[in-house]
Amino acid sequence: MNSLFFETCSETMIFPTAPFNFDGTVHKPDYFPSTDNAYAVGYYWQTVRFGEELYGTKLTNEGSLYSPAIRLSVYSERPIKTETLMNLKEEIEYRFDLKADLSKFYEQFSNDLLLAPVLERWIGMRDSTNVSLYEFLVIATVLQNTTVRRSVQMMETLFKYYGTQISFDDKVLSAFWPPIIIHGEKEETLRALKFGYRAKTLLRQSEIFVNGKMDERILRSLATDQLKEKLLEIYGIGPASVWYLLFQVFKRYDAFEYVSPWEQKIFSQLIYGEELVDSKTLLNDAEKRWGPWKMLALHYLFEDLFWKHEKDPVSWLSPLIHL
DNA sequence: CATCAGGGCCCTG
DNA sequence: CAGGGCCCTGAT
């Protein structure tokens, strides 16, 4: 892994729609830890590959729930052009859903027995992702059919062999590689790094980006059904991964049509206080209760639980997290 | 020590 | 459309 040291810094302000919860938006305690980002209350650091360039970004909370403001600091090798800085700002606004208007969601469920207390704590939290579509596909691939610990291992192996290390603002973080780097690799090499059958997936996913068959910006504008169809065409993306993509990467708040075993257990406890509720029941009830907001509603419940767990372990949750 | 499932998906029959 | 195979690893 080659390393870079970025000292040049440009700044601009971002003004999210209100209400806005900075910490709930930038830090998701249920996502597996990854060395491409770091979090502290009021701060978020993240490496970003944008266009052909690498940047170190830092978000600083300089506002409040009803008067939100974020300082975006961008560290780079060379001074960044104003236009590029504005484009990067827009990209960050999209990824963290900073321009969302969730007022209808809040109004509609202010009396929902499950959601109301959670909204009190987390109103203004957004449905966010810190990475691009390509990068999310890599994450989805290392998540499949394994435990969190091993997902973390695989991710760090990828960073070690194909990524870049960036030092900025007293942080040292890993940065993603461009798809062409993996594309130029042999399947046996990836297999030797213990990716097993995932080697093929990583290669085929890189290929569609190198060949320009995937344009994230165009996908964003598609209707959900059409988008889902496109995403399912990607090798290695099936029913479980597709709704992670729809929700997190593409902000489709209703994307909940499949429950994987792990989430089934957690939702069962969370919503019904039971060990295992039939997945059809889960899906139907969520639709009835929250309709087009169902995944966002579940996200709020999920994050609230994991924040709680981070501070004060929830006894039934611990054995479900295989760290 | 051996066995097995783990935050799925592809492919075959 | 059901079910076997896939890679590695930690848990048991």
Digit-by-digit pLDDT tens for chain A (323 residues) are 789 999 999 999 999 999 999 999 999 999 888 999 999 999 999 999 999 999 999 999 999 999 999 999 999 999 999 999 999 999 999 999 999 999 999 999 999 999 999 999 999 999 999 999 999 999 999 999 988 888 999 999 999 999 999 999 999 999 999 999 999 999 999 999 999 999 999 999 999 999 988 999 999 999 999 999 999 999 999 999 999 999 999 999 999 999 888 888 899 999 999 888 888 899 999 999 999 999 999 999 999 999 999 888 888 888 887 65
Q: Which nucleotide is nearest to A323 if distance is taken from CA to C1'? A: C10
Cβ of A150 less than 7 A from strand B: yes
**Chain B bases having any atom below 7 Å from a protein CB:** 6-11
Cβ of A230 less than 7 A from strand C: no
The closest alpha carbon to A8, from A76, A83, A58, A55, belongs to A76
Report pLDDT for A1: 78
Cβ of A291 less than 7 A from strand C: no
Report pLDDT for A165: 96
Residue nearest to nucleotide C6 (CA to C1'): A197
Cβ of A194 less than 7 A from strand C: yes
Report pLDDT for A323: 57
Task: Compute the Cα dihedral for A316, A291, A304, A127 and give only its sign.
Answer: positive
Token couple for A138:
């890599």
CA A18 to chain centroid: 21
CA–CA separation, A200 vs A188, rounded Å?
Answer: 9
Report pLDDT for A322: 64
Q: A184: part of which helix (H) or strand (E)?
A: none
CA dihedral A152, A6, A98, A301 (to 10 degrees): 20
Cβ of A150 less than 7 A from strand C: yes
CA distances from A25 to A123, A225, A322 (A): 10, 26, 24
Report pLDDT for A114: 96
CA–CA separation, A284 vs A271, rounded Å?
Answer: 13
| Beta bridge mates, A247 | none
Cβ of A263 less than 7 A from strand B: yes
Contacts of A319 (CB under 8 A, 6+ apart): none
Token couple for A93:
């606004």
Cβ of A143 less than 7 A from strand B: yes
Report pLDDT for A321: 79
Cβ of A239 less than 7 A from strand B: yes
CA of A268 to C1' of B6 (A): 19
